[in-house]
Amino acid sequence: MAHYVMATGGTGGHIYPAVAVAQELIRRGHTAALLGQRGGMEQGAAQRAGLDFLGVEAGKLVRSGQGRPDPRELLRAAGGVVQARRALQAQRPAAVVGYGGFASLPGVLAAQSLGIPTVLHEQNAHLGLTQRLAVGRARAVGTAYDEVIGLPQGRGALVGMPVREERLTRPEALGRLQDAGLALDQNRLTLLVMGGSQGSLALNQGVPAALRNVLGSGELHGELVQVLHSTGPRWLEEVRPVVADLPWYHVTGFVDAPAAWSVADLGITRAGTGTLAEAAFYGVPLIMVPLPESAENHQLHNAQAVQRAGAGRLVEQSGLAAELGGRVLECGLPGTRQEMRRAAQQRSPAGAAARLADLIEQL
The domain covering 3-163+350-362 belongs, at the CATH homologous superfamily level, to Glycogen Phosphorylase B; (3.40.50.2000)
Please give the pLDDT value at position 239. 97
Yes or no: say if 124 and 144 are a contact pair by the CB < 8 Å rule: yes
Query: Any binding-site annotation on 332?
Result: no
Please give the pLDDT value at position 61. 61
Query: Any binding-site annotation on 104?
Result: no
Indicate where the chain has its CATH 3.40.50.2000 domain(s): 3-163+350-362, 170-347
pLDDT (mean) for 112-131? 92
Please give the pLDDT value at position 126. 83
Mean pLDDT of the residues in the chain: 93
For residue 196, pLDDT beyond 90: no
pLDDT tens track for 78-111: 899 999 999 999 999 999 999 998 899 999 999 9
Yes or no: say if 304 and 314 are a contact pair by the CB < 8 Å rule: yes
Please give the pLDDT value at position 64. 43
Rg value, the chain, Cα: 21
Query: Any binding-site annotation on 164?
Result: yes
pLDDT (mean) for 139-145? 94
Residues 6+ apart with CB under 8 A from 94: 2, 3, 4, 116, 117, 363
Query: Which one, of 170, 162, 148, 197, lies nearest residue 348 by Cα?
Result: 162
Q: Where does the pLDDT of residue 66 fall: very low under 50, low under 70, confident under 90, or very high at 90 and above?
A: very low
Please give the pLDDT value at position 69. 62
Residues 6+ apart with CB under 8 A from 102: 9, 10, 58, 59, 60, 61, 77, 130
DSSP 169-213: -HHHHHHHHHHTT----TTSEEEEEE--TT--HHHHHHHHHHHHH
Query: Which one, of 144, 132, 123, 261, lies nearest residue 192 by Cα?
Result: 261
Query: Any binding-site annotation on 318?
Result: no
Query: Any binding-site annotation on 124?
Result: yes
Give the relative orientation of helices 105-114 and 71-91 as an angle to the nearest 10 degrees. Answer: 50
Give kind and range of the element (H or E) at residue 86: helix 71-91
pLDDT (mean) for 184-198? 92
Please give the pLDDT value at position 68. 60
Please give the pLDDT value at position 65. 46
The domain covering 170-347 belongs, at the CATH homologous superfamily level, to Glycogen Phosphorylase B; (3.40.50.2000)
pLDDT tens track for 214-228: 999 999 999 999 999
More confident residue, 196 or 200: 200
Percent of the chain with pLDDT over 70: 98
Yes or no: say if 347 and 279 are a contact pair by the CB < 8 Å rule: no
Query: Any binding-site annotation on 13?
Result: yes
pLDDT tens track for 252-293: 999 999 999 999 999 999 999 899 999 999 999 999 999 998
Q: What is the DSSP letter of 302?
A: H
Query: Any binding-site annotation on 12?
Result: yes
